[in-house]
Amino acid sequence: MKVLILGADGYLGWPTCLYFSQRGHEVIAVDNYFHRNAATEHDCESLIPTPDLVQRAEIWEELTGKKIEVHIGDVTNYDLLLSIFKKHKPDTVVHYAEQPSAPYSMIGQKEAAFTLQNNLITTLNIAYAVKEGNPDCHIIKLGTMGEYGTPNIDIEEGWLEIEHKGRKDKFLFPRQAGSLYHTTKIQDTDLLWFYTRMWDLRVTDLMQGPVYGLSTDETDLDKRLMPYFHYDEIFGTVLNRFIVQAVAGYPLTVFGKGNQTRGFLNLKDTMQCVYLSATQPADLGQLRVFNQLTESFSVNQLAEKVKKIGDRLGYNVKINQIKNPRVEKEDHYYNVHYTGLMELGLKPHYLTDEILENFFTITGQYKNRINKDAFFRGISWK
Ligand code: USQ
């Protein structure tokens, strides 16, 4: 398979490049270094020293003899994207080329405008590049569980059959986002659904929950191959932040009551989900939606788990409930259906004590690089 990975330098993008390359597929990697530049601008660099994408591809080739072709460029530039599509004719495109942070999208007008423009134009360009460059190409888009919000009914896998005044039809599950970033993910699902109906695209939309971890079989080969790992308030996800906070001796930042519940998954399982979707693609004219999570936890449950293992390792972990800077329900119903990826063959790595211990061990090696000022800046939703 030829796989085009857009947003290849990011936390998920780079391990995905390695995962496909290791399994013998031809990988073309594209990134514009948005998140590196934003991390420098906001003083929240990766915990782990991370060579740039070109250097990492060279390191990978030295170690394995496998080549990843890198293009540094912006997917909002349609001519660039189309030329890549025409040159490589990918079988699959994996779309990570979005501004991925809810807090970033809520900083102010400039960041909101960037998020809206970047996330919608990249998605639009991909739909056009597939149509004009290789109409058979399977689009795998990273969506988010946050598109559904926290409704007071079960969350189905993408679609909902509705009976209204004696008639039935099937619709995308109702969505109500909790940040501008999540709103753009709803909008890009809508864009792809529109063009799937118009042009018979084949699309898989992976509605992913917050990811944790910094280790895959491929990134473990060499420290220089590890993912760009955020623990800061802007780009870090909650469990990744809690582990680094515990290592730094900083009280865990539980927002509000901490009963907010989300569906989580290990970084290794993101790799599996994307790979299983690519090797068993959607049909032409199908928007296939999978809910991408392996288990649900409240923020409090995560904090307790981190404290238990951290204390056992001698970190004396404190938990601090702070005023929630976000606007979100702190007590809510949460029951998600997610059987589709299991049916494709997903074998989950659940959040065991052993996985947490291993996470502490790796993170502890970078303790002297932790910037405590990045943990909390109070980016407010109001
Ligand atoms: N939270 C805390 N303390 C923190 C950080 C977060 O209590 O220090 C809480 C938040 O208030 C929220 C929950 O933890 O209730 C999850 O927050 P998060 O920062 O881990 O995740 P979120 O902002 O929702 O976004 C992340 C990724 C995004 C992805 C999304 C999946 O950055 O790209 O789409 O997870 S989901 O949350 O299911 O929408």
**Ligand 1 atom having least distance to the Cα of 147:** 39
What pLDDT sits at residue 311? 98
pLDDT band at 378 (very low <50, low <70, confident <90, very high): very high
Q: Which residues of 321-334 are buried (b: 16+ CB within 10 A; e: fewer)?
A: beebbbebbbeeeb
Task: Find the residues whose C-beta lies inside 6 A of ligand 1.
Answer: 100-102, 144-146, 182, 208-210, 237-238, 241, 253-255, 260, 262, 299, 326, 328
C-alpha 103 to ligand 1 mean position (Å): 9
Q: Which residues of 187-212 are buried (b: 16+ CB within 10 A; e: fewer)?
A: bbbebbbebbeeeebbbbbbbbbbbb
pLDDT tens column, 177-200: 999 999 999 999 999 999 999 999
What pLDDT sits at residue 84? 98
Rounded average pLDDT over 112-132 = 98
Catalytic residue from among 122, 144, 184, 196: 144
pLDDT tens column, 97-109: 999 999 999 999 9
Catalytic residue from among 19, 181, 212, 338: 181
Contact in structure between 276 and 344 (CB atoms under 8 Å):
yes
Helical residues (DSSP H) of the chain, grouped into ranges: 13-22, 34-41, 53-64, 78-88, 102-105, 109-133, 180-199, 238-248, 267-279, 299-312, 340-344, 353-364
Q: Please report where in the chains the tokens 């995560």 appear, as a residue.
A: 302
Rounded average pLDDT over 296-321 = 98
Using a pLDDT cut of 70, give the percent of the chain over it.
100
Nearest protein Cα to ligand 1, atom 6: 238
- pTM (two decimals): 0.98
Q: Please report where in the chains the tokens 């189309």 appear, as a residue.
A: 82
**Ligand 1 atom having least distance to the Cα of 185:** 34
Rounded average pLDDT over 138-151 = 98
pLDDT tens column, 269-304: 999 999 999 999 999 999 999 999 999 999 999 999
Active site residue 228: no
Catalytic residue from among 11, 16, 183, 185: 185
pLDDT tens column, 44-95: 999 999 999 999 999 999 999 999 999 999 999 999 999 999 999 999 999 9
**DSSP readout, 194-219?**
HHHHHH--EEEEEEE--EE-S--TTG
C-alpha 262 to ligand 1 mean position (Å): 8
- To test the pocket of ligand 1, the residue of 141, 144, 188, 336 to mutate (highest count of ligand atoms within 8 Å of its CB) is 144
Active site residue 115: no
What pLDDT sits at residue 336? 98
Active site residue 185: yes
**The token pair that represents 239 in the structure block:** 């469990």
- Count of positions (residues) in the chain: 382
Contact in structure between 158 and 290 (CB atoms under 8 Å):
yes
Q: Please report where in the chains the tokens 């939606």 appear, as a residue.
A: 289
Side-chain-facing half-sphere of 77: CA atoms under 13 Å: 11
C-alpha 277 to ligand 1 mean position (Å): 24
